[in-house]
Structure 1
Amino acid sequence: MSVFPDGTLPPAPDAGAGRRYQVTHQTMYRYSDVVTSSYGRGFLTPRDSVRQRCLSYALDIDPSAADSSVSRDVYGNISSYFHITARHYRLNVTARSVVEVDAPPPALYTAGAASAPWEGARPTGIDGALAAEFTLDLHKPEITDAVRRYAAPSFIPGRPLIDVLTDLNGRIFTDFTYRSGSTTVSTRVAEVLEAREGVCQDFARLAIACLRANGLAASYISGYLATDPPPGKERMVGADATHAWAAVWTPTGEWLGLDPTNDQMVDERYITVGWGRDYADVPPLRGIIYTDSESSVIDVAVDVAPIEGGVLDA
Structure 2
Amino acid sequence: MTGQSFPDGPTPAVGSRSYRITHRTEYRYSDVVTSSYGRGHLTPRDTVRQRCLTHELEIDPEPADRSTSRDVYGNLSTYFHVTERHRVLTVTSRAVVEVDPPPAELYGAGSALAPWEAARPVGRDGVLASEFVLDLRPPEITDAVREYAAPSFEPGRPLVEVLRDLNARIFSDFTYRSGSTTVSTQVGQVLAAREGVCQDFARLAIACLRANGLAASYVSGYLATDPPPGKERMFGVDATHAWAAVWTPQSQWLGLDPTNDALVDERYVIVGWGRDYADVPPLRGIIYTDSERSVIDVSVDVAPFEGGVLHA
The aligned runs of 1:93-242 (5 Å cut-off) are: 93-228=91-226, 240-242=238-240
Runs of 5+ unmatched residues, structure 1 = 1-12
Mapped to 2, the partners of 1:211 and 1:239 lie a distance apart of 31
2:12 pairs with 1:16:
yes
Runs of 4+ in structure 1 off by over 4 angstroms are none
Q: What is the count of residue pairs matched by the alignment?
A: 293
CA–CA separation in structure 2 for the residues paired with 1:15 and 1:144: 46
Q: Is the 8 A contact 1:226 1:239 kept in 2?
A: no
Amino acid at match of 1:248: V
Q: 2:86 matched to 1:88?
A: yes
Question: Cα offset for 1:174?
Answer: 0.1
Percent of pairs identical after alignment?
A: 77
User: CA offset at residue 42 of structure 1?
Assistant: 1.1
Q: Shift of residue 15 of structure 1? A: 4.6
Q: Is contact 2:244–2:255 with CA below 8 Å preserved after alignment? A: yes
1:201–1:244 CA contact under 8 A, matched in 2: yes
Give the Cα separation in 1 of the matches to 2:227 and 2:121: 34
Distance 2:294 2:227 in 1: 35
1:139 Cα offset (Å): 1.5
Instruction: Tell me, yes or no, if the aligned pair for 1:226 and 1:270 is still in contact at 8 Å.
Output: yes
- Between the aligned partners of 1:52 and 1:300, the Cα distance in structure 2 is 25
Shift of residue 14, structure 1, vs aligned partner? 2.9
Q: Distance in 1 between the 2:49 and 2:218 partners?
A: 18
Cα distance in 2, alignment partners of residues 153 and 128 from structure 1? 26
Q: Is the 8 A contact 2:131 2:215 kept in 1?
A: yes
Q: Pick from 39, 47, 50 the counterpart of residue 48 of structure 2.
A: 50
Rounded to whole Å, the distance in 2 between the matches of 1:267 and 1:121 is 21
Alpha-carbon distance in structure 2 between the residues aligned to 1:139 and 1:162: 29
Matched, 1:276 2:300: no
**Shift, 1:229, TM fit:** 7.1
Secondary structure of 2:124's counterpart equals coil
Which is worse superposed, 300-309 or 20-29?
Answer: 300-309
Q: Where do 5+ consecutive residues of structure 2 fail to align?
A: 1-8
Shift of 1:308: 2.8
Q: Does the CA contact (< 8 Å) of 1:228 and 1:306 recur in 2? A: no
Over aligned residues, Cα RMSD in angstroms?
1.7
Equivalent residues in 2 for 1:230-309 (5 A)?
240-308=238-306
Q: Would the aligned equivalents of 1:15 and 1:51 in 2 still touch at CA under 8 Å?
A: no
Paired residues of 1:182 and 1:197 also in contact (CA < 8 A): yes
- Cα offsets for 1:228-256 (capped at 9, x unmatched): 2799xxx9xx9700000000000111110
Q: TM-score, normalised by structure 2?
A: 0.91
Q: CA deviation at 1:50?
A: 1.4
User: What CA distance in whole angstroms lies between the structure 2 residues aligned with 1:230 and 1:159?
Assistant: 36
Preserved contact between residue 33 and residue 86 of structure 2 (Cα < 8 Å) = yes
Q: Alignment partner of 1:168: what SS?
A: helix
Contact 2:237/2:299 (CA < 8 Å) preserved in 1?
no
The one-letter amino acid of 1:57's match is: H
- Distance in 2, matches of 1:168 and 1:247, equals 12
Whether the 8 Å contact between 1:227 and 1:303 is mirrored in structure 2 is no
Cα deviation 1:261-303 (Å, max 9, x = unaligned): 0001000000000000000000000000000000101010000
Matched, 1:74 2:72: yes
Deviation at 1:227, TM superposition (A): 2.5
| Distance in structure 2 (CA, Å) of the matches to 1:263 and 1:19 | 21
CA distance in 2, matches of 1:309, 1:95: 19
**Does the 8 Å contact 1:224/1:239 carry over to 2?**
no
Q: Assess if the C-alpha contact under 8 Å between 1:56 and 1:98 holds in 2.
A: yes
**Residue aligning to 1:6:** none
Q: Distance in 1 between matches of 2:60 and 2:249?
A: 46
